[in-house]
Structure formats: C-alpha cells, structure tokens
Amino acid sequence: MKKYFLILSDMENKIRQGLYIPGQKLPSIRSSAETYGCSMSTITRAYAELEKRHAIYSVPQSGFYMVEKPGDWRDNRDSQMINFATVLPDLEAFPFLDFQHCLNKAIDIYKYDLFTYGEPQGLESFRHTLVSHLANDQVFSKVERIIVTSGAQQALEILAKMPFPNGKKAVLVEQPTYDLYLRFLETEGIPVYGIARTAAGIDLQELEQRFRSGEIKLFYTMSRYHNPLGTTYSAEVRKAIARLAGQYDVFVLEDDYMADLGAERQFDPIYAYDGGSNVIYLKSFSKIIFPGLRVGAIVLPERLLQTFHAYKIYPDTSLLSQAALEVYIKNGMYERHKHKIVSLYDSRMRALNESVERYNVQGLIEVPPIRSGIYTHFKLKPRVNIERLLKRLAGRKISVVSGKGFYLLNYLEREKFLRISISQTQPEQIDEGVKVIIEEIGKESK
Ligand SMILES: Cc1ncc(COP(=O)(O)O)c(C=O)c1O
C-alpha cells in the first residue's frame, strides 16, 4: 500500500516537473513495473488513479498518454518579471493532484451531506480534526471554541464589528500592519489607533499605556512572520502581551496566518501564554494551501462565543473545501506538503539574505535577520522617493510593494520601506533582483 502511494507521488512529481509533455506516451505498464521494482498491478492502479484525476488518458490497445492542458495559468505570466510583490504561495509547488484526490475522497466519504448548507460554525468532523492540528502549534482548545470561517478575513471583520464584553470600543493595530484589514476598519468607520512596530519590536511601555487607557477592546497583532515586516516577536514580548491583556482586560487578536511556515520547533504563540482567556487565535490556510479555498479558523475565549455566533449565523463556508482539507490533513499530505514548502521558502530566504550581503556594501538598506516565512523588508533612507523608485524598478521588470499602504491613512510616523516576498521568485532571479533594487536605490539616494 505504502509503495503504491510512493510510486503515485513520484509519477505526479515527474508530471509536475514537466518531464512528460502533453500528448507524450507514458512508459508501458511492464517497463514501469521494472523501473519501480513492483508488480504490474501496482502500476495499473497508479495509472488508473492518474487517469481518474485527469492527468493522463488511455488509448485502448495502445497505452497511456499525458493530457493536453488548455489554458494553463502559467501561459499568462510575464516570465521576465521578477515578482517580489505577490501575496500568493508558490502555485507551482502546490500538490494539485493530491488535492484533487482529497476533493474526490471528500465527496466519497460525505456524499450528499456536502451538498447541504451545513452548520454556521463549520463541519463537525473538520473542527475535531482542527483540535489536534492546532495542538501541534501549542494551541490547545476544546472543539466548542473552534469556529470555521470563510478565510481568516471573515473572522477579522466580525471581530472588528461586534461588541466586546470589556465594554470598550476601539481597535489597536500595529503600524505597519495587514493593509486590507486597515482599509476595512477605515471604510467601516471603526475607531482605530496605531502603535509603532519596527524590526526591533514594539514598545511595551507604550502598549501598556494604550491598554490602560480603557479604550481598547482589541489589539490586532501578528506574533510571527509579520505582514509586511516579516519579523517575529521574541518569547519575552509574546509573554508580556499575554500578561498585559489579562491585566487590563483587553482582548488580543493573534493572527497566526503563516503558522505553517514556522521552521522553529515549539514556537509558543501568545495564545499559549494566556490559555485562551483574553487571546483570540486566528488560523489561515491561504499561505500554505491556496487562498481560493476560503477556509480559516478561529479559537475564541468562552466570553466571546455567543456574540461571535450571533454575527456568524449563516453557514457560508464551503463544505467541500472544509471536507477536502480535513482529508488532506488526516492522511498526512498536509504535513508532507508543509515540509516541502518550508524548505523551499527557507532556501529562497537564504539566497535573498546572501544577495543583500553581497550588494548592500554601502548600507543603503536595512534588512532584518529573517530566515523563514515569505516576507522581509528593505528599510530605506528617508530621502528616497518611493514612487519614482517603483517606476524605475517596473521599467527593469521588477515588482515590489511600497510600505506606505500598510499604515493607517492618518498615521504620520511612517518608516519608508519595501515589502519583499520570496514566495514566487525562483532562486536564480533573486540575486539579479536584489542587485537591481539596490542599484536603483543607489541612484535615488544621490
Ligand atoms: C496578515 C494576514 N492575515 C489574514 C490574511 C487573510 O487570510 P485568508 O485568506 O485566510 O482570509 C492575510 C492575507 O494575505 C494576511 O496577510
């Protein structure tokens, strides 16, 4: 059985790497069985599975062939462009066929149940799977406190709008922070304050003052792989945030959207230091699987459950997505994919840091020491004109994102920086990209 899966996975990898071109005939069953050192029935089964997944097709009396894939998303990409701007995971590394298999399996298991509305809090068995999945990240919770949401985004929106038992009204956000959440808070007219976060961390005394003010219902933070800075809080800071939350009865919303890219063992999120009385833990699957799944999960303190349920009365999260993800986690594919993608991104981050060291000899940019995740940032000198810099870089086929959008519109003590994402840059592009960025910053700094 195990051998069958290894062979199937090897065949998928070869297909993904483009070793077989569309229309090409695959090796015969006999010769594949010799290559893999297995029985012909194992190969027949693997080919049948690939055929079921529409990766290959059979021609009677002739053999198996690769399918033609019309309209591949790759065809629309500008292959010359070096993309440091993306928020998407590396779609080429995504185990498409594995996931397709999980979708089919989910339908087999749940049958018609998947074609109903389901429950607003999410698929019961998926929530049970999440109990042990989250425990791997030191997030221990009873199933009743876990609610599945339509992406982390939905939880962020509900928490911003709903009343809190501490009776306070404002949201405190780090500056900079996740740009789309800022735009949401501003558009909805939710009272919001900013507190500076830099590569060096956060001023805990200022945080305490804000908490003490009696205005803050919710402090939104990313304990690791901050978007856009890429940085992670030290254990001392995470511990202190948990302590202050309890002391001043402020709720902390810990957005652990990149938990799966964590290379460190035993990272304790803020949640782990408070046990879930004032800390709300938020999980996204968008950076590890793909955002189109629209599945996220939230672990809520007991005191918030009833109100959160009242704001999430619709069963609006795709049951098919939840069931497929459940199968994907339970059969170990998630864990396998996670290891693959972590080492892929780590090697790109390493390449980026090496290139920075190579080209930043004049110290034109400041770059924090980041080893994992997909983001880092290049801090610029105040006199650099970012708009002009971005135009020049676009002219040289490099896309990056300015730090400006990650601040509240009325927050004035902004740092100048570029957010750099490595999730879709190939190692051979990274060196060239960093070289050109630093060259152009050099021109702007004269
Ligand atoms: C910091 C942060 N939180 C949450 C999200 C949204 O996650 P989801 O796709 O699960 O809604 C993103 C998306 O990029 C993000 O950057």
Model confidence over 389-415: pLDDT tens digits?
999 999 999 999 999 999 999 999 999
Lowest pLDDT segment from 100-109, 153-162, 303-312, 410-419? 100-109
Q: Count of alpha carbons within 13 Å of 102, Cβ hemisphere only?
A: 22
Centroid of ligand 1 to alpha carbon of 284 (angstroms): 7
pLDDT more than 70, % of the chain:
96
123 Cα–ligand 1 center, Å: 21
Asked if residues 97 and 53 have their Cβ atoms less than 8 Å apart, the reply is: yes
pLDDT attached to residue 69: 63
pLDDT at 53: 72
pTM across the whole model: 0.85
371 CA → ligand 1 middle, Å: 21
Per residue in 208-260, pLDDT (tens digit) is 999 999 999 999 999 999 999 999 999 999 999 999 999 999 999 999 999 98
Any domain includes 235 = yes
Same domain? 261 vs 378: no
pLDDT digits (tens, 9 = 90+) for 115-150: 787 899 999 999 999 999 999 999 999 999 999 999
Identify whether residues 108 and 161 lie together within a single domain. Answer: yes
User: Which atom number of ligand 1 is nearest to the Cα of residue 286?
Assistant: 9
| Residue, of 355 and 109, whose pLDDT is higher | 355
Tally of structural domains, the chain: 3
Residue 291 Cα: closest atom of ligand 1:
9
Nearest to 11 by CA among 33, 1, 23: 33
**300 and 155 co-located in one domain:** yes
User: In sequence order, what DSSP letters do the residues of 343-375 get, joined into one string?
Assistant: HHHHHHHHHHHHHHHHH-TT--SB-----SSSE
Please indicate, yes or no, whether residues 388 and 253 belong to a single structural domain of this protein. no
Domain that holds residue 45: 2-66
In the predicted structure, residue 381 carries a pLDDT above the cut 70 = yes
Same domain for 315 and 298:
yes
Contact 227, 253 (CB under 8 A): no
SS3 405: helix
Task: Provide the total of helices (H) and of strands (E) in the chain, helices listed first.
Answer: 15, 15
Does 153 sit in the ligand 1 pocket, CB within 6 Å?
Answer: yes
Tokens representing residue 344 in the block = 């892929």
Question: In this structure, are 294 and 243 located in the same domain?
Answer: yes
The reply to whether 339 and 308 lie within a common domain is: no
- Is there a single domain that holds both residue 295 and residue 351? no
- Select from 267, 302, 331 the last residue of a domain: 331
51, part of any domain:
yes
* Domain at 359, CATH number: 3.90.1150.10
The reply to whether ligand 1 has any atom less than 6 angstroms from the CB of 321 is: no
Write down the mean pLDDT value for the chain: 91
pLDDT of residue 96: 77
Does residue 28 surpass a pLDDT of 70?
yes
In terms of domains, do 243 and 267 share one? yes
- Ligand 1 in contact with 296 (CB < 6 A)? yes
CA 429–ligand 1 middle distance (angstroms): 26
- Is the shortest distance between the CB of 297 and ligand 1 below 6 Å? no
Residue in 87, 159, 178, 220 to alter for ligand 1 test, most ligand atoms within 8 A of Cβ: 178
Ranking 97-101, 260-264, 282-286 by mean pLDDT, the lowest is 260-264
* pLDDT at 263 exceeding the cut of 70: no
> What confidence score (pLDDT) does residue 266 get?
74
Whether 265 shows a pLDDT value over 70: the answer reads: no
* Dihedral-angle region of residue 193 (phi above 0 means left; psi in -120 to 50 means alpha; beta otherwise): beta
Ligand 1 centroid to Cα of residue 257, in Å, is 6
Summarised one tens digit per residue, pLDDT across range 37-91 is: 999 999 999 998 888 777 888 887 888 888 766 555 454 456 678 999 988 888 7
Last residue of a domain, one of 274, 296, 331: 331
The domain spanning residue 43 has which CATH number?
1.10.10.10
Strands (E) across 290-415 are located at 296-299, 375-379, 398-399, 401-402
What is the pLDDT at residue 292? 83
- Residue 277 CA to residue 300 CA, distance in Å, equals 8
| 253 neighbors 220 (Cβ within 8 angstroms) | yes
pLDDT band for position 1 (cuts 50, 70, 90):
low
Q: Which atom of ligand 1 lies at the shortest distance from residue 295's CA?
A: 10
**Residue owning the nearest CA to atom 14 of ligand 1:** 87
Q: Are residues 321 and 342 in the same domain?
A: no
429 found inside a domain: yes
Q: How far is the CA of 92 from the centre of ligand 1 (A)?
A: 20
Is the sign of the CA dihedral 154, 160, 163, 167 positive or negative?
A: positive
Amino acid at 396: R
